[in-house]
Amino acid sequence: MSWRGLRHKGREILLPEEWNTVVDALDELHNSLVEIMDDLKPVNAKASISESDNIEGLELVLDTGGRPNINIYYSLGGAGEIYIEISIDGSTWRLLDYITLASADSAVEIYTGIAYRYIRVRVPTTGISIEIEIAASR
C-alpha cells in the first residue's frame, strides 16, 4: 500500500476517489520536481556605470541561495581596485579576494566551493566605467 492508501490492482476498476488520489499524488510530485529544478537553476546579477556617472564607485550583491560555484566578470575602464566579499547574512562581509588593476582590463574570476549565501563585488574607484556580472550555480 502506498503513502496515499492506494494498493496495486489487477484488473479491478479504478474508482473515482482512487483516481483523484492518483492525480493529487502526481500534482504533488510535479510541484516537488519544479521546486527542485528551480533550486538547480543558476542565478545572476549585473550592474554597470559610465565614467561620467561614476562618483561613488559601484557595488553589486547577489543572493546565491547557497549555490557554491561563482563566476564573476568585471570590466574596468581604467586603473582600479576590486573587492570580492562574502557574507552569511548580507550585513557582515568577509574578504574573499582583492584585485588591483594598473590599467583598463576585463576578466572572469571563478570560485568554487563557496558556502556563503551572499557575494558582493565592490569597486570603490570613481571616474571610470565599470561593468560587473555575478553568476552562481550548483
Residue type, 73: Y
Give the residue extent of every domain in the chain: 1-40, 43-137
Instruction: Give the integer Cα–Cα distance in Å for 15 and 41.
Output: 39
Instruction: Give the integer Cα–Cα distance in Å for 99 and 109.
Output: 10
pLDDT, tens digit (0-9, with 9 covering 90-100), for 43-68: 999 999 999 999 999 999 999 998 99
pLDDT of residue 5: 72
Question: With 90 as the cut, is the pLDDT of residue 95 above it?
Answer: yes
43-137, CATH topology level: Jelly Rolls (2.60.120)
Q: Is the pTM of this model over 0.85?
A: no
Question: With 90 as the cut, is the pLDDT of residue 29 above it?
Answer: no
